[in-house]
Amino acid sequence: MTLLEAMIAFVILSVVGVVCLDQARGATQLQTASAEWTQAVARGESALSEAVAGTSPYVDASVRTAPDPRVRVERRSWRAGVDQVEVTVLLANGAKYTTARLTPTATGRR
């Protein structure tokens, strides 16, 4: 084996190593983003259930900040006797998860 062949083999091996490390970094970032998204969905669905059931820490009929500042709940009249409850969860990367549900207007309101 000549010196040139050894250098070429070393360069190829180095490129393969860099590609493998880059793939591992990408997989780690994907797993982190997936975990963050899963937590946002769980947080949003929980806040929506609480808001619909009336056990929410969110105050009456306007946009309020909950104990978790990344969660926003808005309850507004959709039609007579029906409200739309919308929950938005803000993620760290600037994305947001939004879910909504129609629910009967709570008695004693409006």
CA distance 17 to 27: 15
Helix or strand (DSSP H, E) at 87: strand 82-90
Asked whether residue 110 carries a pLDDT value surpassing 50, the answer given is no
CA–CA gap between residue 55 and residue 67 (Å, rounded): 14
Q: How far apart are CA 103 and CA 73, in angstroms?
A: 14
Those residues with Cβ within 8 angstroms of residue 109's Cβ, 6 or more apart along the chain or in another chain = 60, 61
Confidence of residue 8 (pLDDT cuts 50, 70, 90): very high
- Per-residue confidence (pLDDT) for residue 89, from 0 to 100: 93
- Residue 5 and residue 20: Cα distance in Å, rounded? 23
Is this prediction's pTM over 0.85? Answer: no
Above 60 in pLDDT, residue 91? yes
Work out the end-to-end distance of the chain between its first and last CA atoms, rounded to an integer number of angstroms. Answer: 87
